[in-house]
Amino acid sequence: MGGPRFVADPAVERPHMWIDGFAILYHRPSGMTHIIASPVPEMLAVIADAPADATDIVARLSAEHDVAGEGALDAIVAARLEELESAGLVYRA
Amino acid sequence: MKHEARIRVGPIGFRVGSAWPGPVAALNALYDGYPTPRDDIPDFTVRLEPERPWRRWVRPSIAIRGDYVLPEASPLALAHGLLAAELGMNLQMALGQRRYLLLHASSVERDGRALLMTGESGAGKSTLAALLGERGWRLMGDEFALIDPATGLVWAFPRAISLKNQAIDVMASGLPQARFGPVLSGTPKGTIRHLRPDARAIAEMDAPARPALLLFPRYGFAEALRGVGAAEVFVRLTQASTNYVALGESGFNALRNLVEAIPACAIDYPDTASAVSLVERLWAELDG
């Protein structure tokens, strides 16, 4: 793990609403609306204004949330980071 | 331009100019009783012009122009001048409206509360709104619902109802012929005939309503009812809106408030009678 460090915009720049287990998020800097599911909103929250690599993100998520199936989260976070970068919701610090 | 109509529909004022008298005469007849734009200042201008100068006389063919233009739009035959004017007005709204979140939805009102209906073209939202408009509801619009992001209220936009194919016969019986426009056959959408909303829809067009129920009707299937989750509603409404992206965060907030405030339901119906009774039942259950 490790790898590049990513950062997300502060929470105020991406208002969202939870409905039916999804978060619908408006990203102010791009004007785009995204539909995301856990653990993406939580990932964005832990790296807002606080750059982190994948390992740090897993550690922060585990510290703040009850994470089921430790280990599986590493792969999930790595995959989501890639998608979030291409969606413009996280960028390299 | 040589010939001109000025019409206000709900909060929106239009000026429709035409190189030919026919489309303007048809428009004025169809919109008989409508007010003119406030302070005589239209929000949008539509121009119906010959595609090429000589096409004003030789096989006349209308190009729809105005404040906003779709470069790929095909010209229409002069016989379809009324349709060109209607399309032009729709186009200006779809491309230029910034004050309201525009939903491609029909709406009717009762007791200050609005029922919104949205769906694919041909799903019957227009016919259903027209029918309800003749059965005690106030027709607010068959094409666009205007959501005010500041208040969440829906504003009426009671344009002439565009009846297509079988819907023409469904509505034709029992209504005065004077409320109908000419039969436009062979248009890109088949046969079209416009119906002027009833007098109440026009007289009360400046009264907004609080959205209360959202339906996704689908015509041609056995009667069925299905709840639609809020996330799906949100996505379908972004697709049903012509200016969601352009409005940015105010569009997001307007849609968010709407989705949180009102229940939504998909309804399938085999015929108009069952659709009307289904709508009445759902409406009654709102208070139950």
Buried/exposed code over B132-151 (b: 16+ C-beta within 10 A; e: otherwise): bbeeebbbbbbbbbbbebee
CB B154 within 8 A of CB B211: yes
Residue in A20, A21, A26 closest to B252 by CB:
A26
Is the per-residue pLDDT at B19 higher than 80? yes
Q: Do B252 and A19 touch (CB under 8 A)?
A: no
Question: Which of A25, A26, A28, A30 has the highest number of chain B CBs within 10 A, making it the mutation to test binding with B?
Answer: A26
Computed from CA positions of residues B175, B179, B182, B186, in that sequence, does the dihedral angle turn out positive or negative? negative
Domain map of chain A by residue range? 6-10+38-92
Is the per-residue pLDDT at B110 higher than 90? yes
CB A27 within 8 A of CB A84: no
B62-66, B199-203, B242-246, B252-256: least confident range: B62-66
Is the per-residue pLDDT at B158 higher than 60? yes
For residue A59, the model assigns a pLDDT of 93
Q: Do A15 and B248 touch (CB under 8 A)?
A: no
Q: Measuring CA to CA, which residue among A41, A38, A40, A22 is closest to residue B231?
A: A22
Rounded to whole angstroms, the Cα distance separating B181 from B195 reads 6
pLDDT classification of B121: cutoffs 50, 70, 90: confident
- Nearest 5°: CA angle at B230, between B159 and B275? 50
Q: What residues of B are in contact with residue A31 (Cβ under 8 Å)? A: 245, 248-249
Is the per-residue pLDDT at B53 higher than 90? no
pLDDT classification of B2: cutoffs 50, 70, 90: confident
**Digit-coded pLDDT (tens) for B170-224:** 898 889 999 999 999 988 888 999 999 999 999 999 999 999 999 999 988 999 9
Rounded to whole angstroms, the Cα distance separating B218 from B266 reads 8
Q: Do A24 and B249 touch (CB under 8 A)?
A: no
Q: What residues of A are in contact with residue B258 (Cβ under 8 Å)? A: none
pTM for the complete prediction?
Answer: 0.89
C-beta atoms surrounding B5 within 10 Å: 21
Helix, strand, coil tally for chain B in percent (to 5): 35, 30, 35
Q: Please count the residues of chain B.
A: 288
**Digit-coded pLDDT (tens) for A9-30:** 999 999 999 988 899 999 999 9
Task: Map out the domains of chain B with their CATH numbers.
Answer: 3-96 (no CATH), 101-287 (3.40.50)
In this prediction, the answer to ipTM > 0.85 reads: no
Q: Do A33 and B230 touch (CB under 8 A)?
A: no
Which tokens sit at B40? 């005589």
Q: Measuring CA to CA, which residue among B170, B168, B196, B197 is closest to residue B184?
A: B168
Q: Measuring CA to CA, which residue among B71, B98, B84, B80 is closest to residue B17?
A: B84
Is the per-residue pLDDT at A1 higher than 60? no
Rounded to whole angstroms, the Cα distance separating B129 from B147 reads 17
Distance from CA of B249 to the nearest CA of A (A): 7
Residue in B238, B244, B256 closest to A17 by CB:
B256
Q: Do A17 and B248 touch (CB under 8 A)?
A: no
Q: Do A24 and B231 touch (CB under 8 A)?
A: yes
